[in-house]
Structure 1
Amino acid sequence: MDEAFEFLKKLERKHYEKILYNIRKAQIQHDQELFKKLNNDIWEFRTLYQGIQYRLLAF
């Protein structure tokens, strides 16, 4: 998790805020566009902001 936060801190503020907003949103409701199971152990969290697709993996 520390690696993910290190990555996020390097982004522009608006991009970072959008990703955090979507993480909070995914905690409340299941949305296949945001959080998708790739296989038994790996999940993918996605955010599209200003034409850039950000993907974080969750285990």
Structure 2
Amino acid sequence: MKRQKRDKMTRAHSKGYQAGISGRAKENCPFQQNDARSQWLGGWREAVEDRHLGLSVK
């Protein structure tokens, strides 16, 4: 059975979340396309909010 790739938008959101949790700046977004960039930034914002609430474990 072939493995399916994850949806690119879901992957962008996930990568943005990982970047936000690790404390990287939003200017480090690797995506140029508006849709993927928007998803990455959404994940980044979510992670930063979680980090401020103390939900991340270091």
TM-score by length of 1: 0.37
TM superposition score normalised by structure 2: 0.37
Structure number with higher helix proportion:
2
Higher-RCO chain (CA-CA 8 Å, sequence separation at least 6): 2
Structure showing the higher strand proportion among its residues: 1
